[in-house]
Structure 1
Amino acid sequence: MAVQSAAQSKTPITLTIAGSDSGGGAGIQADIKAISATGGYACSVIAALTAQNTQGVTGIFNISPEFVAEQLDAVFSDLDVKAVKIGMLSDAVIIQTVADKLRQYQPQFLVVDPVMVATSGDLLLQRDAIETLKSALLPLADVITPNLPEAAALLNTEIPQTEADMAELVEALRELGAGAVLLKGGHLSQTQESTDLLISTDQVIRFSHPRIDTHNTHGTGCTLSAAIASFLAQGFALNDAVQHAKTYLTEAIRHADELQIGTGHGPVNHFFHGHYQPERA
């Protein structure tokens, strides 16, 4: 059967390629919520299933590379995908499969959130998978969005402890080959502001918002990267897409305590701006 070409769409479509979070706070679920809340249409390719809730992950089931490729073919052959956001990919073979398909279909924008380090500090990927990520996928990206432990894992260095330490990583992060790097400083919990550095080939732009005191921050990295992809799909320049995404995430965190989800680290409030509430009869 011949592969049908994707139809042009006026709707800004963003594809998320990541793992599923059964608790709904991170991964594919957070991405779909963030893309929808920021004005886009979300489609998805699931690379792994997790048994997960607000307290942690109890199991992971990896999807086969062949079926990941089949999902990608299905999406790209029919939908006019403008931007792609990539989250956790489980191993080197899946990473290479995704990279090959992206070269085949060449979406306009690619945002890579290199999910590699658990909250505990443990690596989620083997070293060979990290090397494949660096060689096959990161050079295709318009922007990558590592947090501080992930940046340290990519560069095989110590985790930055201050904003000055973050600045010292700028040149090494540029050498990874992505179009830009958004180095997220959320792990600097001793500061009153959460500061990210957008590192391009010729400048560094500082984005800073007040730090919000809440333990409901599950899925913040997924949400930010998905929102950036959503805004890029809508035609915003990268600097503006990052600014809008950072503002959106800050408000989603600010309103997180309005939700009461689970007994651990709850999700951010993706739809803080309101919901459709039909009148009751």
Structure 2
Amino acid sequence: MNMLPLTPTGQTPLRVMTIAGSDSGGGAGIQADLRTFAMLGLHGCVAVTAVTVQNSLGVKAFHEIPLDVVAGQISAVTSDIGIQAAKTGMLASAEIIATVTETWRAEGLAGTVPLVVDPVCASMHGDPLLHPSALNSIRSQLFPLATLVTPNLDEVRLLVDIDVVDAQSQRDAARALHALGPQWVLVKGGHLRSSTMSPDLLYDGTDFYEFDGPRVDTGHDHGAGDTLAAATACALAHGYSVPDAVAFAKSWVTECIRAAYPLGRGHGPVSALFRLTQ
């Protein structure tokens, strides 16, 4: 696969921010995002929204970061270091979502810095990572700021009450999600078990773009959604168009899934470390 260009040693690389939760097991969340940022040659910045108590078997608990600290992290980084793109992950509550969106606007980032929204609602084990009351905040506050939203099929069901079972319902879901305000929608098909492939569908309100890929037979896919969104943000930071950024991220996460490794007694993480062998 074609990689993003690396910045020469000693020169400042492009910067990308993850606004997300910490995974104590290191498989997903900001830990997965930072691995992808680093392996793709970008400088990663963070705004931690929550700290999870988590391992390969699931999420045991989580603690929300105070609102002023969440806002302060975003402001401190963007006012000094500057970023070329960002992505969100676990935002935990309606209050944190409101804080992130208000800070994003206050810092003049809306419409100027590409924002990839991964609407994290639950872990891959089904453990809740978002208070139910916050779903409407995602729809009404966060989505209108998004360059791209990247829900999986479980998140689609929660956000627009559409059960994606085939290509037609995947298109229906993309239309319903786009109506909530993002510029682009990517309905991921990794959980679409009726297909032998992993079909992702991108939509801009007019045209559909299909990204198919092989379904990798593995039980170790923790952090795949985070990794896809992070890679997309990296490509957008480089100036890629949204379709080209998604195509790159699709190929990247596929290789990360191929390189996944066992960890603990549950699901191991996808691995961006494969690039170290290239």
TM-score by length of 1: 0.90
Q: Counterparts of 2:224 and 2:33 in 1: how far apart (Å)?
A: 10
1:136-180 deviation digits (Å, cap 9, x = unpaired): 11101100000111111111x142122222122232122011000
After TM superposition, what 4+ stretches of structure 1 lie above 4 angstroms from structure 2?
120-123
Tell me the C-alpha RMSD between the 2 structures: 1.7
Where do 1:207-222 residues align within 5 Å?
Answer: 207-222=211-226
CA contact under 8 A between 2:21 and 2:29: conserved in structure 1? yes
Conserved? CA contact 2:52–2:59, under 8 Å = yes
Q: 1:233 and 1:52 mapped to 2: Cα distance?
A: 30
Q: 1:142 aligns with which of 147, 160, 167?
A: 147
Q: How much does 1:54 deviate?
A: 1.0
- Aligned 8 A contact 2:162 2:173 in 1: no
Paired residue for 1:43, among 45, 51, 57?
A: 45
Alignment match, 2:13: 11
Larger Cα Rg: Structure 1 or Structure 2?
1
Name the SS for the 1:271 alignment partner.
helix
Q: Distance in 1 between matches of 2:259 and 2:39?
A: 14
Would you say the 8 A contact 1:68–1:94 is kept in 2?
yes
Are the counterparts in 2 of residues 195 and 207 from structure 1 also a CA contact under 8 Å? yes
> 2:269 maps to what in 1?
267
Deviations 1:37-79 (A, max 9, x none): 1221111010000111111111211111111111112111211
For structure 2, list consecutive stretches of 5 or more residues without a partner in the other structure: 1-10
Name the counterpart of 1:131.
Answer: 136
Q: Distance in 1 between matches of 2:268 and 2:125?
A: 17
- Where in structure 2 are the equivalents of 1:1-281 lying within 5 Å? 11-105=13-107, 106=109, 107-121=112-126, 124-155=129-160, 157-256=161-260, 259-274=261-276
* Closer, same or farther: CA 121–50 of 1 in aligned 2, 3 Å: closer
Identity %: 43
What amino acid sits opposite 1:206 in the alignment?
E
Change (3 A) 1:262 1:120: closer
Alpha-carbon distance change, 89 to 119 in structure 1, aligned in 2, over 3 angstroms: same
**For residues 168 and 202 of structure 1, what CA distance do their matches in structure 2 show?**
13
